[in-house]
Amino acid sequence: MTDKKKILIVDDEKDIVETLQFLLESENYLCVSAFDGEDALFKAKNEKPDLIILDVMLPKINGYKVCRLLKFDAKYKNIPVLMVTARSQEEDKVIGEETGADEYITKPFDIQKLLDTVNLYINKAH
């Protein structure tokens, strides 16, 4: 049994997933990844991560819908969701907030800021 916190990274760009996974694992987190919205929902429900980093533009089911489905389910609503997107328009942020996302981070993002945000939510939750 490990006491490492588990983070689900969801992005259809493999290099982004690998970069985040490398950084988070170096911070002593356990990482699980998904490359589309369907897989993200499946893994969120089966892996029960402590936090989800979720891209908006995803194949099959977009990140907004994934977030909404998790946030409106009593079993998963307390998992912090950090939405990451290349879309920085104000209306995108509003949609992100309406779906229940805890944070909205635009690409390209500052790695240290992302790590600080992850640490903040992980420590707040436990």
Tens digit of each residue's pLDDT (9 = 90 or more) over 65-88: 999 999 999 999 999 999 988 766
What residue has token string 């939510």? 121
Q: Where are the domains of the chain?
A: 6-125
Q: Are 80 and 125 in contact (CB under 8 A)?
A: yes
CATH topology of domain 6-125: Rossmann fold (3.40.50)
Residue 2 confidence (pLDDT):
60
CA distance 75 to 118: 21
One-letter amino acid of 37 = G
Q: Is the per-residue pLDDT at 99 higher than 90? A: no
Candidates 4, 13, 5; CA nearest to 86 is: 13
Q: Which residues contact 58 (CB under 8 A, 6 or more apart)?
A: 10, 11, 12, 35, 36, 37, 40, 66
